[in-house]
Amino acid sequence: MSIRVLLADDQALLRGTFRLLIDSCPDLEVVAEAADGQQAVDLARTHRPDIVLMDIRMPGTDGLAATAAICADPDLSGTRVLVLTMYETDEYVARALRVGASGFLGKYVTTDTLLDGIRTVAAGEALLSPGATRALITRFLAGPAPGPLLAPPERLDDLTPREREVTALAARGRSNDEIARELFLSVLTVRSHIQRALTKLGARDRAQLVVIAYQTGLVRPESRQG
């Protein structure tokens, strides 16, 4: 079964390019295109895509507001938002993560990176590993205005010590492979710890797990490693 993608970008030429790339893959398909944020929300509710490839800066309702609306809609719980941005240090990206986006990509990424990014987010992972993303998360998600709490701090008590440790490393941008090497665990065991932490904290995906880790104080900027 193919991964169903909704494109949201105000540039028709760019949407057309993305459509050609995505539709060329047998496991991916574009189900609709939106030229602004409100269209993206409306089309997401109509088509229930697996992924919304969302530009941030669009006329009218921007990508940030559209991301918030999509991620807050219980009928779209199976839809994940992958944000596109011209600038990898854009504060809007961190704000999008706070309201539920599952990650972001620069608009000038390679074809393979774009397609792999769609598959990664569709699988429930998040594009939070690169160093630029770690720096962005530290700067904005851990700042003085972290946004609405996704989980109260006392929910951390539900985690086992190992789940807390794995969650903290994930929040610092470590991949599953890196966590496994650091803690001398198998990748499968790391994935199991991540999944249990997601369930216990009520996190939608790995991106929300990172936000919760910062908001609850499990990870702080001064404690970030690497």
- pLDDT-derived band at 120 (thresholds 50, 70, 90) equals confident
CA angle (186 as vertex; 182, 190 as ends), nearest 5: 75
- pLDDT-derived band at 67 (thresholds 50, 70, 90) equals very high
CA distance 145 to 9: 28
Residue 46 has pLDDT above 70, yes or no: yes
pLDDT of amino acid 226: 41
Give the residue numbers spanning the domain of 11.
3-127
- Whether 146 maps to a domain, the answer reads no
Residues 37 and 83 in one domain: yes
Residues 6+ apart with CB under 8 A from 220: 142, 214
Strand, coil or helix: what is 29?
A: strand
Residues 52 and 100 in one domain: yes
Residues 108 and 191 in one domain: no
Residues 9 and 75 in one domain: yes
- Whether 7 maps to a domain, the answer reads yes
Q: Order of strands across the sheet with 3-8?
A: 28-34, 3-8, 51-55, 80-85, 103-106
- Whether 104 maps to a domain, the answer reads yes
DSSP 8-state class, residue 155: G
pLDDT of amino acid 131: 47
- Whether 35 maps to a domain, the answer reads yes
- Whether 76 maps to a domain, the answer reads yes
- pLDDT-derived band at 154 (thresholds 50, 70, 90) equals confident
pLDDT above 90 as % of the chain = 46
pLDDT digits (tens, 9 = 90+) for 160-198: 999 999 999 988 878 788 899 999 999 999 989 999 999
- Whether 44 maps to a domain, the answer reads yes
Residues 12 and 95 in one domain: yes
- Average of per-residue pLDDT across 22-50: 96
